[in-house]
């Protein structure tokens, strides 16, 4: 992931349109159409980690905890489906949970098709 995208997600300062900002991540997904929404507040309790949990880098979690306490809202990226998967932001979600604050996420969802 590029440094500029990492910074945007870490600070919550995402440019519009989101699909362009997140192009690097979207290109990794199976071919298809996706909707990108957010950032929005979402409880982290139902999010499923896609790497080991809890995240091993406690210093990174502490960094995000400090940012959250200071009023910043770092953004995690979630892939919606039968279960919401954390695509990027495991340390951020861990920090939100530890601080008891609702997480800020961008959600990627398969686009709904219509025959009409």
Instruction: Give the residue-averaged pLDDT of 78-85.
Output: 88
Q: Judge whether 26 and 19 are in contact, CB under 8 Å.
A: yes
Hey, where are the domains in the chain?
3-110
Residue 10: per-residue pLDDT: 73
Residue 38: per-residue pLDDT: 83
pLDDT band at 1 (very low <50, low <70, confident <90, very high): low
pLDDT digits (tens, 9 = 90+) for 38-62: 889 988 788 999 998 989 999 999 9
CATH number belonging to domain 3-110: 3.90.1530
Residue 61: per-residue pLDDT: 97
Residue 66: per-residue pLDDT: 96
Q: Judge whether 22 and 34 are in contact, CB under 8 Å.
A: no
Residue 114: per-residue pLDDT: 45
Whether the per-residue pLDDT at 116 is higher than 50: the answer is: no
Render 37-83 in DSSP notation, one character per residue.
EEEEEE-GGGEE-SS-SS-S-HHHHHHHHHHHHTT---EEEEE-SSS
**pTM of the predicted model, to two decimals?**
0.80
């Amino acid at each position: 992931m590029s440094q500029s995208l990492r910074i945007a997600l870490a600070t919550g300062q995402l440019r519009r349109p989101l699909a362009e900002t997140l192009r690097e991540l979207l290109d990794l997904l199976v071919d298809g159409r996706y909707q990108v929404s957010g950032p929005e507040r979402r409880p982290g309790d139902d999010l499923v980690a896609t790497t080991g949990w809890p995240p091993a880098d406690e210093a990174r979690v502490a960094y995000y905890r400090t940012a959250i306490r200071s009023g910043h809202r770092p953004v995690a990226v979630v892939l919606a489906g039968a279960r919401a998967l954390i695509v990027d932001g495991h340390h951020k979600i861990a920090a939100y949970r530890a601080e008891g604050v609702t997480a800020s996420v961008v959600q990627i969802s398969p686009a709904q098709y219509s025959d009409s």
